[in-house]
Structures are given as C-alpha cells and as structure tokens.
C-alpha cells in the first residue's frame, strides 16, 4: 500500500514538472528572440552608418563605389588615399599598407611617429590633423572677413566653398571691368575662358604674339610688353623734363620724374606769383591753374579799362 502511495506521488510530481518546463520555456524564448532581433537591428544600423561614412569619404575622393561591398569600398578608398599621398601599396598586406599610408600622412603633416605604436601614431596624426583643421578654419575666417562673408556655423568645406564663390564673383567683376576697357564681350563665359579671351585681346593690342604659348608664358610675355611700354612713357617724360633715368628701376625712375615735376611746378608757381603781384591780384591758396585764370581775368580787365580810356 505504501509502495503504491509513493509511486502515485512520484507520477504526480513528474506530471507537474512536465507542465512547468514548457511554461518556463515559453517565457524565456520570446526574450531570446527579442534580444537577437535587437542585436541584428543594431548591427544593421551600425553597418548603414559605416557605409554612409565610407560613401562620404569616397565622394570627397571622387571615387565611384556603386555596387561594391563595404570591404571593397574600404580597399578602393585606401588605394585612392595612397595614390593621393604618392604611396605605392601594391602587393602589400593590409597591415603593411596601413603602416605605409600612416607614415606618409605623418610626413606630410610634419609629425614624427618613429618608435610609436600604431595606436599612438594614429593619435598623434589625428591631433596634427585637428591642429591643421583649426589653422585652416582660421585662414578661411580671415578671408571671409576680408570679403565680408558670414560663415558662422559652417563646416570648413562649406565655408571654403562659400569663400571661393565670393572670390569668383569678385574676380568676375574685375574681369568685366577689364573687358569693358578692351571692348570685349565675356558674357556667359567662365572666369577661365574670360581670362583667356582678355589675354588674347591684350596681346593683340600690344602687338605681342602669344600663339602656342602656355598660360604662364603668355602672361609673362604680355607683362614684359606692358613694362616696356611703361618704360618708354617714363623715358619720354624724363626727356621732356631733362631728367636722366638710365639704369634706374621703374620705381626710382618714377620718383625722379615726380621730383622734377614738383620742381618745375614750383618754378611755375613762383613766376605766376610775380605776375599776380604786378597786376595786384591775390592768388593765395590757388592752384597754378586757378592762378592763371585769375591773372588772365586781371589782364583782360586792365586791357578793357585802357581801351575805354582811349575812347574817352
């Protein structure tokens, strides 16, 4: 009887346990599934974020990454960065390629990473890059201030673009003024095309042949022709004034001619003062031109009075 009772209790306990385990399992399974789903979602967001950053870098480098995996994009970006730094990473392992690129970056920034671990070298390069970014921002701000542009809150790239746009606008204004003087139409042309057209017109006006020359050589030839023309003008002025400017620089020649002109002007002023005194005319504070007019009027008045006296 006791054996039967014990057996009954054992069976009841087993039945009870079998009903508890599924219930416990049912409670646990959804939590594990939720955790897995959350982890996958986080990984997907993380991958999307990484891909967005890679896409941004690729765009800056002018790289097409259409259809590439994240790993392929990284490799392509690394190759482009290496090429930009003038580094050959062909056939190198990932670690060696990274080390070579890091060394080239450090050299470009003037940073010594000798004996540093990869992490310490990276930190030192990053600090140098931040310093450079700050210096760039200050330079851009200075240019913006000169141009009267507000770049508050803009990134360095956007600020730089805004400054360049303002410079282009200012350059176009100067080109337009020059074109007007030369009688050239530059409507619809880019700044570069406008410069070429103006350069050609200027060369033709000076009688200079710039056919086949590079932009720099053409510019140098035109400048030489302009300098020669200015020197000829200075020489002509110096000859009229009896001034010798042989061997003098353009600036010194100008200074000598200016001094001679001032001296001549003083002589004229003194002569006019003598004439004015004789005629009883006050020319105090008057320019030479105004003094001449006053003297002329006084002579004409004196002549008119003399004629009237003769008639009477």
Task: Give the per-residue pLDDT at 44.
Answer: 54
Please say whether the beta carbons of 164 and 143 come within 8 A: no
Average pLDDT of the residues in 75-86: 89
Reply yes or no on whether the pLDDT at 24 is more than 50: no
Q: Check if the beta carbon of residue 86 is closer than 8 Å to that of residue 104.
A: yes
35 vs 101, which has greater pLDDT? 101
User: What local confidence, expressed as pLDDT, does residue 71 receive?
Assistant: 87
% of the chain beyond a pLDDT of 90: 40
Query: Would you place residue 310 in the very low, low, confident or very high pLDDT band (cuts 50, 70, 90)?
Result: low
In this predicted model, which residue has the larger pLDDT, 5 or 173? 173
pLDDT bucket at 174, cuts 50 / 70 / 90: very high
How high is the mean pLDDT of the chain?
A: 83
Whether the CB-CB separation of 224 and 231 falls below 8 Å is answered with no
Q: How far is CA 130 from CA 81, 109, 146, in A?
A: 18, 11, 24
**Residue reference for tokens 């303002």:** 166
Distance between CA atoms of 27 and 23, rounded to whole angstroms? 6
Please say if the pLDDT value at position 245 is more than 80.
yes
Q: What is the mean pLDDT of residues 256-269?
A: 91
Instruction: Tell whether the model's pLDDT for residue 98 goes beyond 60.
Output: yes
Answer whether residue 308 shows pLDDT above 80: no
User: According to the model, what pLDDT value does residue 60 have?
Assistant: 84
The per-residue DSSP string of 267-301 comes to: HHHHHHHHHHHHHT---TT--HHHHHHHHHHHHHH
* CA-to-CA separations, 159 to 55, 140, 153, 309, in angstroms, rounded: 21, 7, 9, 82
Q: What pLDDT is attached to residue 170?
A: 93
Say what the pLDDT of residue 3 is: 46
Report the alpha-carbon distance of residue 151 to residue 143 in Å, rounded: 10
Lowest mean pLDDT among 222-236, 255-269, 293-307: 293-307
Other beta carbons less than 10 A from residue 204's beta carbon: 12
* pLDDT digits 0-9 by tens, 25-57: 444 445 555 555 555 455 555 767 777 888 888
Q: How confident is the model at residue 176, as a pLDDT?
A: 94
Indicate if the alpha-carbon torsion angle 203, 204, 208, 214 is positive or negative: positive
105-115 mean pLDDT: 90
Q: Which pair of structure tokens corresponds to residue 40?
A: 């996958």
pLDDT at 11: 47
CB 276 within 8 A of CB 282: yes
Distance CA 172, CA 165 (A): 10
Average pLDDT of the residues in 269-293 = 90
Write down the pLDDT at residue 43: 55
Q: What is the pLDDT of residue 311?
A: 61
Name the pLDDT band for 177 (thresholds 50, 70, 90): very high
**What single DSSP character describes residue 263?**
H
Length of the chain: 312
Q: What is the pLDDT of residues 212-226, one digit of tens each?
A: 999 899 999 999 999
pLDDT digits (tens, 9 = 90+) for 131-147: 998 999 999 999 999 99
């Amino acid at each position: 009887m006791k054996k039967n009772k014990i057996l009954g209790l054992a069976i009841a306990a087993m039945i009870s346990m079998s009903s508890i385990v599924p219930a416990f399992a049912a409670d646990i399974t959804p939590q594990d599934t939720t955790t897995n789903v959350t982890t996958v979602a986080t990984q997907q967001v993380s991958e999307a974020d990484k891909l967005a950053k890679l896409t941004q870098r690729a765009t800056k480098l002018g790289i097409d990454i259409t259809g590439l995996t994240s790993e392929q994009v990284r490799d392509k970006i690394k190759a482009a960065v290496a090429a930009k730094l003038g580094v050959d990473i062909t056939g190198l392992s990932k670690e060696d390629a990274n080390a070579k690129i890091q060394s080239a970056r450090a050299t470009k920034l003037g940073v010594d990473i000798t004996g540093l671990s990869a992490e310490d070298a990276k930190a030192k390069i990053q600090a140098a890059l931040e310093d450079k970014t700050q210096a760039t921002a200050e330079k851009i701000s200075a240019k913006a201030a000169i141009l009267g542009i507000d770049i508050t809150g803009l990134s360095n790239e956007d600020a730089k673009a805004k400054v360049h746009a303002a410079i282009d606008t200012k350059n176009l204004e100067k080109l337009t003024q020059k074109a007007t003087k030369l009688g050239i139409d530059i409507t619809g042309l880019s700044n570069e095309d406008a410069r070429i057209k103006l350069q050609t017109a200027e060369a033709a006006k000076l009688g200079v042949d710039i056919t086949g020359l590079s932009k720099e050589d053409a510019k140098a030839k035109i400048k030489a022709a302009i300098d020669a023309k200015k020197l000829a003008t200075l020489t002509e002025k110096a000859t009229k004034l009896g001034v010798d400017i042989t061997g003098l620089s353009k600036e010194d020649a100008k200074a000598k001619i200016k001094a001679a002109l001032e001296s001549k002007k003083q002589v004229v002023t003194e002569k006019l003062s003598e004439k004015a005194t004789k005629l009883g005319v006050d020319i105090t504070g008057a320019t030479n031109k105004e003094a001449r007019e006053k003297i002329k009027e006084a002579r004409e008045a004196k002549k008119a009075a003399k004629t009237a006296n003769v008639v009477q």
